[in-house]
Chains A and B, each alone.
Chain A
Amino acid sequence: GAVVSQHPSRVICKSGTSVKIECRSLDFQATTMFWYRQFPKQSLMLMATSNEGSKATYEQGVEKDKFLINHASLTLSTLTVTSAHPEDSSFYICSASLGLAEETQYFGPGTRLLVL
């Protein structure tokens, strides 16, 4: 159980375009999802916490208008990188938990974004 999927697994786009990444909890309902960013050979940095039906909570330094997060259902959260630039190239990972008080986060396989 506790499987989380991400789509796409890899995306290459031109600078200035927007990219949408989907995160789905396949066998459980996730009231809370998290979005992380990981640069090569670095740790995971939390970008935002996404709660179903409410606005996401962004970490300090993360641009809300740049990284749009929508958590429309209990099994789906989306991250849209708007007007992507080469510096946005990274590995984006989502995770999901049963609730804010649920101890364990289950991670998706990640999405590699390359902006040319």
Chain B
Amino acid sequence: AQKVTQAQTEISVVEKEDVTLDCVYETRDTTYYLFWYKQPPSGELVFLIRRNSFDEQNEISGRYSWNFQKSTSSFNFTITASQVVDSAVYFCALRERSGGYQKVTFGTGTKLQVIP
């Protein structure tokens, strides 16, 4: 079973629209971490946010906001007033303990295209 599911493969929005990227995860650990990374066309992964399993407070950073719902195992990411520079592939990731080692599992990514 996929541990991190990003059901939206590609999304296109017009500039200034809001967009939400979905992420659903699966884990048996009680302590885990969730991440969002941005991968622009250049390829480099940019860290956006980390959230631990005990902190369900939503977070806002500028135009970015994250909604962590433990009850539904979701960690969704919303971009408000999207801009062309937001065009990238966004990965949701889960960090959990596996066989004594911490490892990060990435979702399949959502490609966001913001049209001017």
Give the B-binding residues of A (Cβ under 8 A). 34, 42-46, 49, 57, 91, 93, 95, 100-101, 103-110, 112
Residues of B within 8 A of A93 (CB): 43, 45
Check B47 against A106 for contact (C-beta < 8 Å).
yes
Contact partner of B108 (CB less than 8 A), chosen from A42, A95, A107, is A42
Most buried by B among A95, A106, A107: A107
Check B44 against A109 for contact (C-beta < 8 Å).
yes
B31 to chain A minimum Cβ distance, whole angstroms, is: 10
Check A34 against B104 for contact (C-beta < 8 Å).
yes
Separation of A93 and B52 alpha carbons in the complex (Å): 24
Q: What's the dominant secondary structure at chain A's contact region?
A: strand
A35 to chain B minimum Cβ distance, whole angstroms, is: 12
Closest residue of chain B to A42, judged by CB?
B108
Interface string of B98-113 (1 = CB under 8 A from A): 0001111111110000
Check B43 against A44 for contact (C-beta < 8 Å).
no
Contact partner of B44 (CB less than 8 A), chosen from A34, A42, A103, A107, is A107
Closest residue of chain A to B45, judged by CB?
A107
